[in-house]
Structure 1
């Protein structure tokens, strides 16, 4: 669970009526989204950061890396080693996270103004923009 206050908590929901916090990590900023793939959590922070967190030991999560984007960041979707990040003034950024310790910019789509949310399903990227509505892009 990513909190606005900059704390990522690992919650055991084996018993839904009694969720238990197993561990947490404190990071800088205000979180806007989290996507978990395997033992990695990808956390976006409002002021332009994508944190990659190793949660393989839920009692002691650790930061592997931080990638900085030059705008506010709202949303992340991670598929096949790529993190699709919705940046308000920077559009859609695609970050290669195949080596989580060394993320780098793979590609960008700047034609959408104020990207708000992103979701990837099959070979389609769905991006919503504050001013542009819904944009659907095909992955080649």
Structure 2
């Protein structure tokens, strides 16, 4: 797959499983991404505010605060950031409105690394296209 033209895209990987974090870090770094890791929901929110990532890969079930609460917090300050959800469970739960969370993609665990790059590229290109459209509207 062709790499995103901005090879300096920063991906924040938030997962409490060390093996998952390290595997994603190694794979994405080899693809040319800058990768920052967070081991729990609180750290994820802190890192996101600090580094302003281009995209977040987020586990739902994590200590301190779960992925759903992380998404709700992030949507208040960074409403447009793409969030790809990682989870062994295929449901977010009946209390969660998917539209409310503005999720980009749901990625079931175990993760297939070969699919990750495609999903990242797609999400990053969608954001880029939306920014271009917004800029064009401002010019007209």
Which bin holds the TM-score, normalised by the shorter protein?
under 0.3
Name the TM-score, length of structure 2 as normaliser.
Answer: 0.25
Higher relative contact order (CA 8 A, sep 6+): 2
Larger proportion of helix: 2
Name the TM-score, length of structure 1 as normaliser.
Answer: 0.25
Larger proportion of strand: 1
